[in-house]
Each structure stands twice: as C-alpha cells, then as structure tokens.
C-alpha cells in the first residue's frame, strides 16, 4: 500500500480546524488595507471594501472555507468532494495561498520593499498559509509527487439526479464559467497583477475540482443532457456582450470566436482524421481575402462589386474549398510527418504569394503587403453592423454586432462538426486516424475520405475568414503565417486544438479563448510569451496529454483508468477513509 502518512503530524480535528480558521482569517484580511498607496493596481487601500486582488483572495478564502466544511460531514456538502480525496483541500488552500503571497511579493517588488505592506497584507500572508499547513496534515494521496498531478481514482458513480436538478446544475456551471470569463476579460491590461492573481485562483480551483471529481461529473451530466447543455452554453455566450460596457471586450470576444471556430475546423482535420496540418491558417486567409475582394472596398481589385453577406460567405467558403482541394489532392498521399512538412510549405506559399501579387512582382490582385484596407461594414437586411444598437437597455457596439453574427457561425460549425463526426463519414475519419491500412482494407477510400475532411475543414475556416475580414476592417498577409507571437497563426491554431482537447467540440473553443486572452492580458510577458507558451505546452503534455477537455476515447487511451462501464462500487463512508488510511 502506498505511504499516506501526512507530511505534518497533526490530528485530523486540528488539521480541519486549521484549514477553516485560515480561510476565515483570509476572508477577514481582504476587508483590511493591504498597502498604503493606490499606485498598486486595483487600489487595495480601503478598509471594509475588497478590491482587485482582494476580491480574488476573498473568493479563494470562501472556496477554501466551503471545502473545509466537508471535513465536518456537513449534510448536503458531501457532494462537493464525493471521493473523499485529500488533494482537493490542498489545491483549494493553495489557491488562496498563491493569490495572497503573490500579491504581497508583487507589492514589495512593484513599490520597492516590504515596508509598503499594510497590516492587512501581513494578515493575509499568514492567514493564507494556515490552510496549506492544515491540508498537508491530512493524509497524503500516496508516496511520490505524481499523485498530486494525476487525477485520483475514478469518482464513485453519482446518484441519479431527478427533476430539475441536472438542468439547474448545468445552468449554474455554465453561469460560473461565464462569470469567470467576463471577470477575466474585464480586467484591464494595465492590471496584469490582478490577472495573474485571477489566473492562479482559476488554475488551483480548477485543479481542486478535477481532483474532487466534480469536472468529470459535470461533463458526464452535460453529455447526458447534450442538447440542453449546448443551448445553455450558447445562450451564456450570447449574454456576454450585454455584460460589457466596453466595446473593446466585445472585440476580444469576436476574435476569440473567430479563432475558436477556425480551431474547430482544424479539429476535423487533426482531431478526427489525424492529418497533421501545419498550414491551416492559409484557409482563413483565403476566406478573408475572398470576402475583402467582393466587399466593395475601394482598394479591392474589384472595387465597386459589393456582394451581400451570404454571397460573400459562399465565395469565401468556395475559394477556401478550392484551395483546400488543390493543396489536399497532391499532399494527402503522404502520411504523418511528411504531410506536416508539406502543409507548412503550402501555408507559407499562400502568404508569400499574396504578399507578391501587388502588380509589380506579380499580377495585381491582393495589393501586396498593403493588403485591402477600408472594408465597409456589413449590412444584413438593413441592419448595419457598424452602428450602435440599443437592445434591452444595453448599447451594443460594432464589435458586439459582429459577435452575434460570429456566434451564429460558431453554432453552425459546431453543428457541422458534431453531425459529421457521428456519421458514416466521421467513423471513416476516425478509422483512418486509428489505422489507415486497416481502414483501407475495410473498404474505405482513404484518399477521398481524407480529401473530404480537408475540404470541409478548409471551407469552415474560409467561412470564419469572411467575417474576420469585416471585423478587422482590412486584410494583410502578415497574420497568416506559420508561427508568430499573436493568434491566429497555424502554430497557435494547432496549439488551441491540442491544448483544449483533440476530437472534442468544447476543447478547441476553450483552448482558443485561453490562447487569445493570456497574451492580451499579460502584456508584460510579451517578450517571453512564446517561451512561456512552450513551457506551458510541455507541462500540459506531460501531465494531461489528452488536453484540457478530454475526449472520452482519448482519456481512456492515455490513462488506463478502466472501462467505460465502471462497476458500481459501494460508496465508502467519507469520514473514515482518511483515518483508516492514515493508521494503516
């Protein structure tokens, strides 16, 4: 049996008291002043009114307190930590600890010395360390650090929920997600410190929830009520612009949607069919350029021709489709690494060709490096996307309008993805990913099926490209490169798919949101961004190779956690587990 003696020898009652007391003290500290000057981002000087990082510490404290109550077997709270594992307590305690200590260090560094800390700051530093000590006094999950990174055993099967509870839980979960997203996106880029604190909280809290088996249960619940969960998620996304007073955040939102939609298209090619395409951003570029050419911009080669949006979207899709087939037909005969290398090449060919088609180095089509500026706003059925519109008391700016259009397109792409994946052709794609030789021997025309995947992915990216051309006012060749420091580029798109989870719907969308938001908010990281990004990917691949959102299949593939039909194991009495393990 694994060694589970706690690191700190303390009786269980003392440990849980330490956690709860530390949490309460942390909460109290957030109502005090942490520093004397409002120079530090987020004004932490006011007594009785938490702000900025204090709010984040407050939330961490509340969560820690809530979790600690499960150690007393409070009725109804047992669901919070059904496995009875001790790691969630440690991680939730670490969230408060990380936020408070980071804040204290940031104050000391930014303002020059510990002298700038007010009493509240010292209280927070001490108080937030207590729950960590308490959690370390609980039995360890096993000898070795591995147990802190990988998920513990499969959670006990949830009791079937009846009536409205599953719906309420789904809505609550999605609302929580929306809340976290709007809060994160609402943090001003000048307050990088606040955003880091927020990221620490989200990271550790999510880690704790994963270890408590909550995320598994939630995703199982969503899978059970798929239609409802999807609808709720889209409604939540549609509420987002109403929560923003600033059109800048809506701009971030629409860019995330574009990026996420393209990543979802790439997921068909990479995640389902297993074709490593490293030049995928070119299809976004083809769609954007095609839409720009027929947008009625006076700098377009076809100045004066202004297609209605539906026609422009079709042109963008068709152009990408043709480009996809042209690239796919010769390259899809290659497998694995060779395909990846060739697709990089073709992706770069697009960018360089567009760069040169300026009338001097080549035919005058794309205006070369200047691109096509002054793309007019869309007008659909008299609705001008460039104007502000007042809807239900909220003013929706230009980007909010495009956000709604893009949300519709994302919904369409999600529909296409799920329907295609669960069909004869989707099965053929997955079969080719799994074993191309066997798939071909089972009667699948490998080349044709792969070409369909390639063409479908390309045309979906082209569709997103048509909107992106209008959102950004202009199209230039530079963003459509293989690797760069800002999304979208092929490397980031692939990272969004891999980070989020291959073969899933929500994975690439979440991955895209993270990859877009982090560089946007952590401006000070700009020089080290790619380094940090690479490190994050390495760490993720080491500990969670299936991505943030695990496809059921891939999860089973990477962690041999057992069968799909886990036999109903009798639920262990929560209270005794820790003690007996500790004694053994």
Partner 1 sequence: MRFGGLTAVREVDLTVRSGEIVGLIGPNGAGKTTFFNCLTGLYVPTQGTVSYRGTVLPPKPHLVTKAGIARTFQNIRLFANMTVLENVMVGRHTRTKEGLWSALLRGPGFRKAEQAGEERSMELLEFVGLAHKRDHLARNLPYGEQRRLEIARALASEPGLLLLDEPTAGMNPQETRTTEELVFAIRDKGIAVLVIEHDMRFIFNLCDRVAVLVQGRKLVEGTSDVVQADERVVAAYLGEPFEGDPGEAEAAEVEAAEAQAAEAGSDTETADAESTSTTKGEPQ
Q: Which residues bind partner 1 (CB under 8 A)?
A: 415-416, 419-420, 422-428, 430-431, 434-435, 437-446, 452, 456, 553-554, 556-557, 563-565
C-alpha to C-alpha distance for 292 and 286, rounded to whole angstroms: 10
Rounded to a whole number of angstroms, the minimum distance from the CB of residue 549 to partner 1 is: 16
| Least distance in angstroms from the C-beta of 223 to partner 1 | 13
Is residue 132 within 8 Å of residue 90, measured between CB atoms? yes
CA 35 to chain centre: 33
Nearest approach, Cβ of residue 496 and partner 1 (Å): 22
CB of 418 to partner 1, least distance (A): 10
Question: Which lies closer to partner 1 via its Cβ, residue 147 or residue 554?
Answer: 554
Distance separating alpha carbons of residues 293 and 299, to the nearest angstrom: 9
Report, in Å, the least distance between residue 539 CB and partner 1. 24
Question: Residue 218 CB, nearest distance to partner 1 (Å)?
Answer: 21
Q: How far is the CB of 166 from partner 1 (least distance, A)?
A: 21
Q: Which is nearer to partner 1, 87 or 555 (CB)?
A: 555
Which positions ≥6 away from 42 have C-beta within 8 Å? 51, 52, 53, 54, 191, 193, 194
Please identify, using beta-carbon distances, which residue of 79 and 448 lies nearer to partner 1. 448
Q: How far apart are CA 43 and CA 46, in angstroms?
A: 7
What's the sign of the alpha-carbon dihedral 12, 17, 23, 26? negative
* Closest listed residue to residue 123, CA positions, set 48, 57, 202, 25: 25
Least distance (Å) from partner 1 to the CB of residue 449? Answer: 9
Nearer to partner 1, 445 or 576 (CB): 445
Q: How far is CA 9 from CA 16, 94, 133, 135, 137, in A?
A: 13, 19, 10, 11, 6
Given the complex with partner 1, which of 25 and 420 has the nearer CB atom?
420
Q: Which of 452, 462, 481 is nearest to 344 (CA)?
A: 481
Least spacing, CB of residue 497 vs partner 1, in Å = 17
* Residue among 256 and 502 whose Cβ is closer to partner 1: 502
Smallest distance, Å, CB 219 to partner 1? 17
Kindly tell me which of 39 and 557 has the beta carbon lying closer to partner 1: 557
Dihedral over Cα of 463, 465, 466, 472: its sign: positive
81 touches 70 (CB < 8 A): yes
- Nearest approach in angstroms of CB 423 to partner 1 is 3
- Give the containing element (helix H, strand E) for 341: helix 337-356
Angle, helix 309-331 to helix 337-356, in steps of 10 degrees: 130
Q: For 531-570, give the secondary structure using H, E and C.
A: HHHHHHHHHHHHHCCCCCCCCHHHHHHHCCCCCCCCCCCC
Q: Which two tokens stand for residue 305?
A: 């021709």
d(CA 479, CA 488): 7
CA–CA separation, 368 and 360 (whole Å): 9
Question: Which lies closer to partner 1 via its Cβ, residue 422 or residue 576?
Answer: 422
Nearer to partner 1 by Cβ, of 196 and 452: the residue is 452
Distance CA 510, CA 221 (A): 19
How far apart are CB 456 and partner 1 at their closest, in Å? Answer: 7
The least CB distance from residue 431 to partner 1, in Å, is 5
CB count, 10 Å around CB of 532?
A: 14
Which is closer to partner 1, CB of 185 or CB of 453? 453
Smallest distance from the beta carbon of 215 to partner 1, in angstroms?
Answer: 21
- The answer to whether the CB of 505 falls within 8 A of the CB of 418 is yes
- Which segments of 7-86 are extended strands (E)? none
Counting beta carbons within 10 angstroms of the beta carbon of residue 571, is it exposed (0 to 12), middle (13 to 18) or buried (19 or more)? middle
What distance in Å separates the CA atoms of residue 101 and residue 285, rounded to the nearest whole number? Answer: 45
Q: Report the residue number, 393 or 443, with the smaller CB distance to partner 1.
A: 443
- Look up residue 273 and give its two tokens: 């069919």
Pair 122, 157: CB distance under 8 Å: no
Give 422 or 526: the residue with its C-beta nearer to partner 1: 422
The 10 Å Cβ neighbour count of residue 259 is: 25
Instruction: Give the 3-state DSSP-derived string for 176-221, with helices as H, strands as E and coil as C.
Output: HHHHHHHHHHHCCCCCHHHHHHHHHHHHHHHHHHHHCCHHHHHHHH
- Which of left, alpha, beta for 367 (phi over 0: left; psi -120 to 50: alpha)? left
Q: Is-contact 314 281, C-beta < 8 A?
A: no
H or E, element range at 436: helix 436-441
Cβ proximity to partner 1, 360 vs 437, nearer residue: 437
Q: How far is the CB of 388 from partner 1 (least distance, A)?
A: 36
Question: Measured from the CB atom, is 146 or 226 closer to partner 1?
Answer: 226
Nearer to partner 1, 453 or 469 (CB): 453
């Amino acid at each position: 049996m694994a060694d589970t003696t706690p690191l700190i020898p303390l009786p269980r009652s003392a440990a849980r008291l330490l956690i709860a007391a530390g949490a309460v003290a942390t909460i109290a500290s957030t109502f005090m002043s942490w520093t004397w000057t409002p120079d530090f981002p987020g004004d932490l000087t006011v007594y009785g009114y938490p702000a900025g990082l204090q709010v984040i510490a407050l939330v961490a404290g509340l969560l820690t307190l809530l979790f600690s109550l499960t150690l007393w077997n409070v009725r109804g709270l047992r669901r919070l930590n059904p496995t009875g594992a001790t790691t969630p307590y440690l991680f939730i305690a670490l969230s408060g600890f990380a936020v408070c200590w980071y804040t204290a260090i940031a104050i000391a560094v930014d303002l020059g010395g510990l002298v700038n800390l007010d009493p509240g700051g010292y209280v927070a530093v001490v108080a937030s360390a207590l729950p960590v000590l308490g959690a370390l006094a609980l039995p360890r999950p096993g000898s070795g650090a591995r147990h802190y990174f990988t998920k513990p055993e499969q959670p006990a099967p949830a009791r079937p929920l009846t009536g409205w509870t599953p719906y309420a839980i789904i809505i609550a979960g999605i609302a929580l997600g929306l809340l976290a997203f709007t809060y994160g996106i609402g943090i001003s880029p000048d307050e990088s410190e606040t955003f880091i604190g927020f990221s620490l909280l989200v990271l550790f809290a999510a880690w704790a929830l994963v270890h408590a088996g909550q995320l598994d249960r939630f995703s199982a619940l969503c899978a059970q009520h798929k239609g409802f969960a999807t609808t709720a998620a889209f409604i939540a996304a549609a509420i987002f612009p109403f929560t923003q007073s600033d059109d800048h955040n809506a701009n971030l939102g629409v860019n995330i949607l574009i990026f996420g939609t393209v990543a979802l298209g790439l997921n068909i090619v990479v995640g389902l069919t297993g074709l490593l395409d490293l030049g995928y951003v070119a299809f976004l570029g083809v769609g954007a350029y095609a839409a720009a050419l027929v947008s009625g911009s006076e700098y377009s080669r076809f100045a004066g021709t202004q297609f209605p949006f539906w026609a422009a979207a079709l042109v963008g899709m068709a152009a990408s489709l043709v480009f996809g087939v042209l690239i796919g037909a010769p390259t899809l005969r290659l497998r694995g690494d060779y395909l990846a290398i060739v697709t990089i090449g073709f992706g770069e060919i697009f960018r360089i060709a567009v760069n040169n088609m300026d009338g001097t180095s080549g035919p005058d089509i794309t205006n070369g490096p200047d691109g096509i500026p002054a793309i007019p706003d869309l007008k659909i059925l008299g609705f001008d996307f460039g104007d502000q519109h007042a809807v239900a008391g909220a003013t929706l700016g230009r980007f909010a309008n495009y956000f709604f259009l893009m949300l519709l397109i994302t919904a369409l792409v999600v529909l296409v993805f799920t329907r295609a994946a669960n069909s004869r052709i989707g099965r053929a794609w997955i079969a080719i990913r799994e074993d191309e030789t066997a798939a071909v021997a089972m009667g699948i025309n490998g080349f044709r099926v792969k070409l369909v995947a390639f063409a479908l992915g390309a045309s979906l990216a082209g569709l997103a490209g048509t909107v992106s051309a209008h959102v950004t006012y202009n199209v230039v060749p530079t963003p459509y490169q293989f690797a760069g420091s800002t999304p979208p580029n092929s490397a980031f798109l692939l990272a969004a798919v891999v980070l989020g989870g291959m073969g899933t719907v929500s994975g690439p969308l979440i991955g895209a949101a993270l990859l877009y938001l982090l560089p946007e908010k952590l401006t000070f990281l700009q020089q080290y961004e790619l380094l940090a990004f690479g490190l994050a990917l390495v760490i993720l691949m080491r500990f969670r190779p299936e991505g943030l959102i695990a496809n059921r299949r891939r999860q089973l593939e990477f962690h041999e956690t057992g069968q799909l039909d886990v036999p109903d194991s009798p639920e262990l009495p929560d209270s005794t587990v820790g003690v007996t393990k500790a004694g053994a």
